[in-house]
């Protein structure tokens, strides 16, 4: 490169560069673009940088350590006007004050760093760097600078906590568990409930001793959450499922000190509700996150929303008394067949006057079925948006077959065989005629049922299947003025007290 003494602009974008010695760069260079490489330190770049450089682009690299700010001063870059540090892994917002050592800096791009997820991000930088004209390619107006005046000097406003609010409205398109016009069997009794889950960061509970006071500034958010299996590394961004642990690769060089650990992703479960169309949830939950590096990774990978059906089948319990009663009824029925008169006996051998005792039920273990899931792309939050809203289309749920009762059906053929053995021809003929009549009636019922089924099939073919839809909102907290920050701090302090 030293052969090009008059070169003023040099672009090394997407070259997998890890280190670059600035002593080998042309002296008259004014623009240096090193976007989308693997640079994790500025030490080599600051050996002997071009003194006339005005623009330095370092976006989409692996810069994260607080010590990197020491290389961003007028000692190395006396004429630097524009600096692009977007989409790196800087976490500590207070260290932005070191950029005051670049006296000519007018344009700064910091979007895409974990610190940009803080509510006071823009206000703190504007109030700290008084010479800036533009932040994240957005001009700083005098009114905006006035609104954020003094926010950087008040320690209460410099909170290393990001707050994300998730809202889930209504769920539509869940198939009805049974047809209201259909005659249901007596057993099993089916109870169906539904709930929604979504994946988000959670933190393991830290046991506190009885003498240790609770830390009100750390909100542990693990209620009704279960860990999800798997791992999520910073390189694994193509997986459609958010997994359980954020494993921070290259932690020694790229990840901040407070992020050199694994953070779990939990499945947050909404309350179960019975079937409805729609099912109204109006669920709102605020998640407080301190590990900004892990939050950035989670947002880059997105969230998964799932709708689950919980079905419980209940069956009658057969007790010893029921067995004894059934045996006695069979004996009475046999005696009646021999000629004894039991006027209160029905055709099944049961006493008409005897009241049936209440049936004891036994429930099977709950059966969970995923009706559908949807992976939500939240990369727009990382790129600067504060609000995300959409109706998630989870597709058309599959309709499962109806549960059949295992209760055995009493066959008439047994009676026919017993009567034939006894030689009661007249009785056999009578019962045979009744059996033939019952069979013809059953055949007619089957034909009618088939006709109703054909009609229902023709009707259903003309109706489009319903899609399973879930209303989803996500909002990242942002302070637009110092008064907004003041009000938020006051609300938090009063709620904790």
- Give the pLDDT of residue 201: 86
- Give the pLDDT of residue 412: 44
CB neighbourhood size of 373 (10 A): 19
My answer on whether 231 and 142 are in the same domain is: no
Residue in 157, 477, 139 with CA at minimum distance from that of residue 286:
477
Length of the chain: 497
My answer on whether 196 and 76 are in the same domain is: no
In a domain, 216, yes or no: no
- Give the pLDDT of residue 465: 79
Provide the CA 490 distance to its chain's centre, in angstroms.
Answer: 31
In the chain, what is the greatest distance between 2 CA atoms, to the nearest angstrom? 123
- Give the pLDDT of residue 356: 58
- Give the pLDDT of residue 332: 57
The residues with which 314 forms a beta bridge, in sequence order, are 189, 363
My answer on whether 346 and 268 are in the same domain is: no
Contact of 30 with 9, CB cutoff 8 Å: yes
Tokens at 55, concatenated? 């623009």
DSSP 3-state percent helix, strand, coil across the chain (nearest 5): 30, 25, 50
In a domain, 169, yes or no: yes
Domain containing 326 equals 318-358
- Give the pLDDT of residue 1: 86
Please provide the DSSP assignment of 445-482 as one string: HHHHHHHHHHHHHHHHHTSPPPPPEEEEEEEE----SH
Contact of 277 with 166, CB cutoff 8 Å: no
Q: What sign results for the dihedral spanned by CA atoms 126, 485, 474, 199?
A: positive
My answer on whether 375 and 488 are in the same domain is: yes
My answer on whether 334 and 387 are in the same domain is: no
- Give the pLDDT of residue 225: 44
Q: Where are the alpha helices (DSSP H) in 29-141?
A: 121-128
- Give the pLDDT of residue 307: 95
In a domain, 453, yes or no: no
Residue with the two structure tokens 């005051």 = 100
CB neighbourhood size of 62 (10 A): 19
Helix (H, G, I), strand (E, B) or coil at 350: coil
Residue 330: which H helix or E strand, with range?
helix 320-338
- Give the pLDDT of residue 493: 57
CATH of the domain at 303: 2.60.40.150
Helix (H, G, I), strand (E, B) or coil at 450: helix
Spatial strand order in the sheet of 387-393 = 279-289, 162-172, 469-476, 387-393
My answer on whether 274 and 392 are in the same domain is: yes
The residues with which 138 forms a beta bridge, in sequence order, are 135
Q: Which residues contact 40 (CB under 8 A, 6 or more apart)?
A: 18, 61, 62, 63, 64, 250, 253, 254
Distance CA 477, CA 387 (A): 9
My answer on whether 200 and 291 are in the same domain is: yes
My answer on whether 173 and 243 are in the same domain is: yes
My answer on whether 74 and 152 are in the same domain is: yes
In a domain, 25, yes or no: yes
Distance CA 176, CA 187 (A): 19
In a domain, 4, yes or no: no
Tokens at 494, concatenated? 């009063």
- Give the pLDDT of residue 8: 95
Q: What is the mean pLDDT of each run of 10 residues along the chain (497 residues)?
A: 92 95 94 96 94 96 92 94 96 93 96 94 93 95 90 76 94 85 75 93 52 38 40 35 36 38 78 92 92 92 94 80 57 55 51 60 88 95 94 86 49 49 53 56 61 53 77 92 71 55
In a domain, 324, yes or no: yes
Spatial strand order in the sheet of 9-11 = 9-11, 31-33, 55-57, 82-84, 107-109, 134-135, 138-139
In a domain, 418, yes or no: no
Contact of 231 with 244, CB cutoff 8 Å: yes
Contact of 177 with 304, CB cutoff 8 Å: no
CB neighbourhood size of 161 (10 A): 16
My answer on whether 266 and 182 are in the same domain is: yes
- Rg (alpha carbons) of the chain, rounded to whole number: 36
Distance CA 101, CA 95 (A): 12
In a domain, 398, yes or no: yes
My answer on whether 181 and 269 are in the same domain is: yes
Domains contained in the chain, number: 3
CATH of the domain at 109: 3.80.10.10
My answer on whether 375 and 335 are in the same domain is: no
């Amino acid at each position: 490169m030293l052969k090009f003494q008059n070169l003023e602009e040099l672009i090394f974008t997407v070259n997998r560069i890890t280190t670059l010695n600035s002593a080998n760069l042309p002296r008259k260079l004014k623009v240096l673009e090193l976007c989308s490489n693997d640079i994790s330190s500025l030490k080599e770049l600051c050996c002997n940088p071009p003194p006339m450089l005005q623009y330095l682009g370092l976006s989409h690299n692996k810069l994260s350590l607080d010590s990197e700010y020491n290389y961003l001063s007028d000692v190395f870059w006396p004429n630097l006007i524009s600096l692009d540090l977007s989409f790196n892994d800087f976490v500590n917002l207070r260290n932005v004050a070191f950029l005051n050592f670049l006296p000519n800096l007018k344009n700064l791009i910091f979007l895409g760093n974990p610190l940009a997820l803080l509510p006071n991000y823009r206000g703190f930088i504007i109030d700290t760097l008084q010479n800036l004209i533009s932040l994240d390619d957005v001009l700083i107006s005098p009114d905006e600078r006035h609104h954020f005046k003094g926010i950087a000097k008040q320690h209460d406003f410099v909170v290393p906590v990001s707050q994300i609010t998730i809202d889930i409205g209504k769920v539509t398109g869940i198939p009805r568990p049974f047809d209201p016009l259909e005659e249901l069997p007596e057993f099993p009794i089916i109870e169906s409930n539904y709930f929604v889950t979504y994946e988000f960061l959670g933190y393991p509970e830290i046991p506190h001793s009885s003498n240790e006071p609770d830390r009100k500034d750390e909100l542990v958010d693990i209620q009704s959450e279960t860990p999800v299996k798997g791992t999520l590394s910073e390189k694994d961004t193509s997986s459609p499922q958010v997994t359980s642990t954020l494993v921070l690769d290259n932690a020694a060089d790229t990840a901040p000190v407070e992020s050199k650990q694994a953070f779990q992703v939990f499945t947050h479960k909404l309350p179960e509700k019975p079937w409805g169309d729609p099912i109204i949830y109006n669920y709102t939950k605020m998640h407080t996150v301190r590990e900004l590096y892990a939050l950035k990774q989670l947002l880059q990978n997105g969230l998964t929303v799932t709708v689950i059906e919980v079905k419980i089948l209940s069956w009658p319990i057969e007790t010893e008394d029921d067995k004894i009663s059934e045996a006695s009824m069979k004996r009475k029925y046999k005696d009646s067949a021999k000629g004894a008169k039991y006027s209160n006996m029905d055709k099944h051998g049961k006493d008409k006057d005897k009241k049936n005792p209440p049936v004891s039920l036994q429930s099977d273990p709950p059966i969970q079925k995923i009706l559908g899931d949807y992976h939500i792309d939240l990369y727009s939050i990382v790129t600067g948006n504060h609000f995300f809203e959409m109706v998630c289309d989870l597709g058309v749920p599959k309709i499962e077959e109806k549960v059949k009762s295992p209760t055995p059906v009493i066959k008439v053929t047994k009676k026919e065989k017993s009567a034939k053995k006894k030689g009661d021809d007249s009785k056999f003929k009578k019962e045979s005629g009744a059996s033939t009549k019952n069979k013809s009636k059953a055949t007619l019922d089957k034909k009618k049922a088939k006709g109703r089924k054909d009609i229902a099939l023709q009707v259903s073919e003309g109706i489009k299947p319903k899609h399973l839809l879930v209303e989803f909102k996500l909002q990242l907290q942002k302070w637009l003025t110092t008064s907004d920050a003041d009000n938020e701090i006051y609300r938090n302090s009063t709620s904790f007290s």
